[in-house]
Amino acid sequence: MKNVIKSYSDCTFHREIGRLIQRYSENRLDIRDIVEHALTWTNIKKILDLGCGYGWFEETLKGTFDLVYGIDYHGENEAAFVKIAGRVAQEVVFKGMYLPHTIPLPPDSFDLIVSAYSLYFFPEVIPEAKRLLHPGGTLVVITHSEKMLEEGEKYFEFKNLKEVIRRFSAENGEGILKRHFKEVTSIDYYNSLVFTRGASDDLARYIDFKREFIAKDIDPELVRRAMLDELRVKGVVRFNKNDRIFIVKK
């Protein structure tokens, strides 16, 4: 699992891929804007971000918060996270930690806990998130569909990739959360990434970003070549990018 997680250690590349995904998305609405409009922010003063990375979720936050606390395995993300979260928070804390693990903070510490595209790495942390969430607080989870990269499956079998995503996916996330919380709602975010002729370099970079996921099943270079060949022959390559937002109340 740590080999897969290391995909997120290069924050510059990670941010570049985030912009690339926005550029090639059919759904032009930023999923973070959907989260923003789905929540009532009045009483949200302290935020915990599990698997915070470089601060992707915090990039679009508005308002002022007392505390934004990020936990991530990669210390390389600290400087970027502190800078981004510092725009909206009076206090920013970054803690380098491999999850799941007991988080050394008192119960009921946060009004909002977020895990964006990361909970499938550590779903065992959910009880700890519940402990840290203030009564009446909110847990937001953004996650992938199990059909992520399904278009490549006509060439390759991504068995291990699916095993990672199925640890917490759009399809099974509600059932997992309801083991710990009573009030769970969800919002579907339908999307595809569409690469057309002239976008071969960006397609190659997107596949390179998924390298550690793919490498558990197949040589990523073979996947890269197959997808670039399909783009050259057909003129278009599409990837399923359907995601789901879970909103949970304690």
Q: Tens digit of pLDDT for each residue in 12-28?
A: 888 999 999 999 999 99
Whole-structure pTM value: 0.93
As a CATH number, domain 2-148+157-194+241-249 is 3.40.50.150
Other CB atoms within a 10 A radius of the CB of residue 15 amount to: 17
pLDDT tens sequence across 97-143: 999 999 999 999 999 999 999 999 999 999 999 999 999 999 999 99
What is the mean predicted confidence (pLDDT) over 230-237? Answer: 95
Q: What is the pLDDT at residue 13? A: 87
Identify which of 171, 35, 169 has the alpha carbon closest to the alpha carbon of residue 114.
35
pLDDT tens sequence across 51-65: 999 999 999 999 999
Map out the domains of the chain as residue ranges: 2-148+157-194+241-249
Contacts of 19 (CB under 8 A, 6+ apart): none
Distances (CA, A) of 181 to 119, 126, 198: 16, 10, 47
